[in-house]
Amino acid sequence: MERFAAAHDNSDGKPLLSVVLIDDGAMPGASAALAGLPFPVTIALDPGAPDAAAKMAAYRAAGVEVAALISLPRGAAPSDVEVAFAAYFAALPEAVLVLDSGEVGLQSDIEVTRQAMEILAADGRALVSVSQGLNQAMREAERAQVPAAVVYRDLDSEGQDARVIRRFLDQAAFRARQQSGVVLLGRVRPDTISALILWGTANRAGQVSVAPVSAVLLAQ
């Protein structure tokens, strides 16, 4: 994670807030649109996509850090995790972390979760996960000394418009001022990008340091 993390300066010591955006290829010209953001984000890519390596290279060349969006089959065994993670990081070798969006089997079995954490610990990568039940992955990450964070809010999973997303961002900034290290999840889509740009130029955004998620994890 330290090797491939995007640089971030928080010399003012402001509370940290991070946005992870999933780029699923649905929005044409995504990289150009993201270049208009007034703050850094972390981009999550599907390592199984045919253009995953090319996308990673383009984002990394632009100084953007990358996460691997994991997708384990239901009923996966620990041996399946080893094979899957090897494939993820072969496709996205500069991924600083894995993103468990809550739609995969990472937390369905304790042995699967432990195997995943052991691999991440050995590789020096981190975990960001959507809250699920007892948050088994977070407990196992702590045991394995894997930097990890739970997503505070999903900004746009139900197709929220830019106005609603900006309200979510305001709430997250307020939360970050109480507890630094808030992580948000979104998708590369026009309303989300518009909301981030508008919010980033507002006064409220200046009350926190919007950082790549690696900065949040390394500050733990």
What pLDDT score does 33 carry?
A: 85
- Sign (positive or negative) of CA dihedral 65, 2, 12, 213: positive
- Evaluate whether residue 52 is within a structural domain: yes
Cβ count near 24 (within 10 Å): 15
- Evaluate whether residue 102 is within a structural domain: yes
What pLDDT score does 134 carry?
A: 65
pTM: 0.94
- Evaluate whether residue 73 is within a structural domain: yes
- What is the domain-level CATH number for residue 32? 3.20.20.370
In contact, 209 and 15? CB cutoff 8 Å: yes
pLDDT digits (tens, 9 = 90+) for 29-86: 888 888 889 999 999 999 999 999 999 999 999 999 999 999 887 778 888 899 999 9
Q: Which residue range is the domain that position 77 belongs to?
A: 16-218
Higher pLDDT, 63 or 220: 63
Count of structural domains, the chain:
1
- Evaluate whether residue 71 is within a structural domain: yes
